[in-house]
Structure 1
Amino acid sequence: MSDAGAATPLPVVVGAEAARATIFRKRVVDEGALSDAERGLIATLYPSMDPATADAAVRRIIDEVRRDGDAALRRISAALDGFAPDPMRVNEAEFAAARAAVDPELIGALQAAAGRVRDYHARQLAHAAQSFEHEGLGQIVRPIARVGLYVPGTAVVYPSSVLHTAIPAVVAGVEDVCIVSPVSSAAGGTVAAIKLVAAEIAGVTSVYKVGGAQAIAALAYGTESVPAVDKIFGPGNRFVTLAKRMVYGDVGIDALYGPTETVVVTDDSADPELCAADLLAQAEHDTIAAPILITSSERVARAVAAIVPRQAAALPRGAIALQAFENRGGIILAEDLSAAIDLANEYAPEHLALGVAAAQAAADRARTAGGLFVGEASPEALADYIAGPSHVMPTGGSARYASPLHVDAFRKVTSVLRAGDDLLQRVGDDAITIARAEGLQAHARSLEVRRSDR
C-alpha cells in the first residue's frame, strides 16, 4: 500500500488563462533532458561517448544494427538488459511453457477481450476504405504485407497492448505480423509469459526477444533473425521513439507516442468519487502521465481535489499517481461547461471523458480527442481492456489531426487508371494545355502521340 495519502487537497486552478499558464504549459517536455536512468543506460553502452545524448546513442545503435545484424542485437541487449537472446525468435516450447504458466482465468479474460476487439475491428473494416472502379478510374485497397509491433515492458507487462495492437493488423489482412519485445536476465531471458499468450490469442506470426532502439533498427533494416518490415507500430520509451523517428522514410511508422493523457470534463451532476477514480486510473501509469479534470462546478473541483489523495493512499502505485498530478496534471475550474469543453478541445487529449448531464450534446462539441468516453458508465478503463476499440491513441496534442489505431493504418491504397480512348479524347486537350504551361513538353507529347486526330 502507498504512503501517498497525505490529506492535503490538490490545488485548483481557476480560469482558462491560469490553466494555460500552468497545467497546459507542463505538457511541453524538454526532449534533451536525460534522467539519471537514461544517462546510466548510455554510459553502460557507450562509456566514452561525449557528449552523451539520446540522439547520438540511438543513431549509433541503428548504425551498428545495420552493419552487424544479430551480433549487434546480442551485444547491445547484453549490455543493457543483461541477456543476449539466442535464438532470437520465440520457439514453440516457449509458447507452450507460457500457456502452462498463465492462470486459466486470465487466459479466458484475454480471450473474451480479444473477441470484442476483433468484432469491433471487423465492423470497422466493413466501413473502411474499399476498392472500387468507375469508368476506368478507381483504387485498390490492400493490406500491408509485413508489419512489426513494438511491445514494451519488462518490469510492467501489458498483455492488453498486444491485443489492441495486433488484432487490428490481423483483421486488416496483414499476412506477417511480428512482435519485438524486450527481455532480461531477471525474467529468465524470455518474453513474459502473459505477452506470449496474448500474442498467440491475437494471431501474431512471430515474436522476437529484443527491445529498445535496437529492435526498431532490426525491424527497419532486417538482420539474420529479424525480418525487415514495411511499417512499425507501437509505443516505447524515449530511445524507441527516437529510433522510430530516425528510421522513418526507410520504413513506415504509425506515430510518435508520448505520455498518456486523460481529460475529464464535468458539470455539477458528476460524482466526484468516480471522477477521482478515473483520473487515478490513468495517473498510475507513470509520473509523467497527464490526469486533468476540467469542471464548471466548484463543488466537484474541491471534492475531487480532496478525494484524489485519499484514494491514492489505498493504491500500490498511489505515489506515482500523485506525482503525475504534480508533474503534468491538475484540476481546472472553468467559467462554465462551454468554456470547459473549449479548453478540452484546445488541449486535444488522448482520452476525453464526459461526466455531464447533457452528455451527447457535449460529445457533439468535443472535436479533438483521440478517444471519447461519454457518460459515467463509459470509463476509460473499460476501453483500455475489453470494450472493443484499440486503446492505442494519439498523444501530445496530435489528436487535432491524428486518429486512434484502426484497420486502415494497416492497409494502403493504390490509385488505378484504366482509361479508354474515349477519356483521352475528352480531356486530353486540357491535360496538354496544363503540361505546356508547366514547361513539361515531354508530358504534352506523351498525350499528343496517343490522340487519334494527331
Structure 2
Amino acid sequence: MIRRVDLRGRVAAGEVLDLQALVPRAEFDVEKALDVVRPITEAVRHRGADAIREFGAKFDHVAVTDLRVPAEALKTALEELDPAIRSAFEESIRRVREVSEDERGEDVHSEPAKGGRVTQRLVPVQRVGLYVPGGRAPLSSSVVMNVVPAQVAGVPSLAVASPPQQDGLPHPTILAVCELLGIDEVYAMGGAQAIAGFAYGFEGCRKVNMITGPGNIYVVAAKRLLKGQIGIDSEAGPTEIAVLADDTADAGHVAADLISQAEHDPMAASVLVTPSTKLADEVEAQLIKQVQNTKHAERITEALSGEQSGIVLVDDLDQGTAVVDAYGAEHLEIQTADAEQRAETINNAGAVFIGAWSPVSLGDYCAGSNHVLPTAGCACHSSGLSVRSFLKAMHVVNYTREALEDVAGHVVTLANAEDLPAHGAAITQRFTQ
C-alpha cells in the first residue's frame, strides 16, 4: 500500500544524500497550471462577473445567476445548523481567537537619538478576500481559520468566496459559519475565477488587497500569477503530514494520523520517518487494517500508494530529524521519547505537533492554531496563516530640528557617496534659510 525509502547505511558508505530529493513528494507543477489559469484570469479581468459565471458553469457544473449570496441564505443556514456542530464551531472560534489575540502584538516605539523617534505601526490590510474550498470536503473549518485572525488584526472589509453546490450556493455549513462570524459578503464562486474576481473586482465586488486560503492547484496557480496585483498568504496546495517516530510511538496512532490526511485528496502526502523497522512494519499492517474500515477507502488508498507518500527508514533519530527538516512538511508530528526537545531543533514545518496526544486533526479544528499552512516545501520560507498575515508594519519617523541637525552631516556624506547630491541638499536646505 505504501512504498519504502531506505536511507540506512548510505552516509556511512560515503554517499552524499540530497534529502529534499529523496523524501517522497508529489509532482505539483504550478508553473504548468499557470498556462491553464492565465486565460481564465484575463477573461475575468475584462468581463468580470459574466466570465466568473461562465467558468463556474464549466468547472463546477452549476449555473449561478447572482454570485453574491443573499443575507437570508446566510441566516437560514445558521438557523438550520445542527446545535452540536454549532457548539463545536463556537469552541473552535474561541480558541483560534484567543491564540490570535495573543499574537496580535503592539506598535513598537524607538528613539535612536534624542528628539528622533521611529514608531513601527502595525496596520491591518484594508480589504481581504478569503477563499474556502468546497470540493470533495467543503472545509467550513477554513472559514474560522481565515476569518478569525483577520478580524483580530482589525481588517475592516472581509469577503468570502467558496464554490457553489448544486443549489447554486456554497455549502450550507460554510454559510452558517460565515453568519456565525458576522461575515455578510459571501460569493458563490470557486477556482481560479474566484481568485481573479477578488484580485480585479467585478460588478458589486470591490477588488481586494490580499487573498488568503487553501485550494487546488489552479487556485494556487492563480494566486501565484496575481501576486503583486494582490498580496497572498502562501501557496497552500494538497495537504501533507510527516511523522517522525521511534519505538515509543503507538503504531495504531501513527497509522490513523497518516490516514487522516490522506483522506483529503488522492494527491495528499503521508510520510513516516523512523529508524525502527519494527514500527514501520507495524504501521504498514495498521494502515491495511484501518483503511478498509474508513468511509473514503478508495481515495485514501490512492494517496497512500502514490509517489508522494512513503515510509522513510533512517539510521537514527538525528538523521530522521534532518530528513523531516529538509522536507518542510505542512504538518509535522514528532512521536519520540524526546519529542519536546527534538521539536525545538526543527526549522522548517508549517506546524509541529508534539507527542501522542497532539494529532494533526486537533490542529485542523480545535487546537487554537491555524490550519492554513504552507505546503510543497514552502515552510522553509513561509509561515502559516495568522493574525500577522493581515498586518503590515509601517515606520513613522518624527525628528526634531535638533535631532536632524545632529545627524545631518552623516546623511549628506552618505548621499554624496551614492552620487545623490540632491538627497543631501534636502537636508542642508533646512539649515541655510
Q: TM-score when scaled to structure 1?
A: 0.88
Q: Return closer, same or farther for 1:157/1:340 CA change in 2, 3 Å cut-off.
A: same
Contact 1:280–1:321, Cα closer than 8 Å, also in 2: yes
In the other structure, the counterpart of 1:413 is 393
Q: Pick from 140, 143, 157: which aligns with 1:162?
A: 143
Contact 2:24–2:271, Cα closer than 8 Å, also in 1: no
In the other structure, the counterpart of 1:138 is 119
Q: What amino acid is the match of 2:23?
A: F
In the other structure, the counterpart of 1:14 is 6
In the other structure, the counterpart of 1:209 is 188
User: Does residue 1:172 correspond to 2:153, yes or no?
Assistant: yes
Q: Return closer, same or farther for 1:57/1:352 CA change in 2, 3 Å cut-off.
A: closer
Q: Percent identity?
A: 35
Contact 1:267–1:295, Cα closer than 8 Å, also in 2: yes
Contact 1:219–1:228, Cα closer than 8 Å, also in 2: yes
Alignment of 1:296-445 (within 5 A): 296-327=275-306, 328-445=308-425
State the distance in 2 between where 1:342 and 1:392 align: 24
Q: Return closer, same or farther for 1:317/1:298 CA change in 2, 3 Å cut-off.
A: same
State the distance in 1 between where 2:394 and 2:50 align: 38
Contact 1:11–1:305, Cα closer than 8 Å, also in 2: no
State the distance in 2 between where 1:27 and 1:423 align: 57
Question: 1:103-142 CA deviation, whole Å, 9 max, x = no partner?
Answer: 12111111111111111111121xx352435332122211
State the distance in 2 between where 1:296 and 1:70 align: 55
Offset at residue 85 of structure 1 (A): 2.6
Contact 2:134–2:170, Cα closer than 8 Å, also in 1: no
User: Does residue 1:181 correspond to 2:162, yes or no?
Assistant: yes
In the other structure, the counterpart of 2:13 is none
State the distance in 1 between where 2:302 and 2:409 align: 67
Offset at residue 28 of structure 1 (A): 4.0
Question: 1:31-83 CA deviation, whole Å, 9 max, x = no partner?
Answer: 466xxxxxxxxxxxxxxxxxxxx434422222222222222222322333333
Q: Return closer, same or farther for 1:70/1:118 CA change in 2, 3 Å cut-off.
A: same
Alignment of 1:54-203 (within 5 A): 54-125=33-104, 128=105, 130-134=107-111, 135-184=116-165, 187-203=166-182
In the other structure, the counterpart of 1:39 is none
Aligned residues: 421
In the other structure, the counterpart of 2:254 is 275
SS in 2 for 1:177: strand
SS in 2 for 1:136: strand
Contact 1:309–1:322, Cα closer than 8 Å, also in 2: no
Q: What amino acid is the match of 1:244?
A: K
Offset at residue 221 of structure 1 (A): 1.1
SS in 1 for 2:179: helix
SS in 2 for 1:223: coil
State the distance in 2 between where 1:133 and 1:369 align: 33
In the other structure, the counterpart of 1:36 is none
Q: What amino acid is the match of 1:413?
A: A
Q: Structure 1: any 5+ residue segments left out of the alignment?
A: 1-8, 34-53
Question: 1:240-296 CA deviation, whole Å, 9 max, x = no partner?
Answer: 222111211111111112221111111111111111111111111111111111112
Q: What amino acid is the match of 1:346?
A: A
Offset at residue 178 of structure 1 (A): 0.7
Q: TM-score when scaled to structure 2?
A: 0.92
SS in 2 for 1:88: coil
State the distance in 1 between where 2:3 and 2:47 align: 53
Q: Return closer, same or farther for 1:247/1:168 CA change in 2, 3 Å cut-off.
A: same
State the distance in 2 between where 1:192 and 1:28 align: 30
Contact 2:127–2:155, Cα closer than 8 Å, also in 1: yes
Offset at residue 322 of structure 1 (A): 2.3
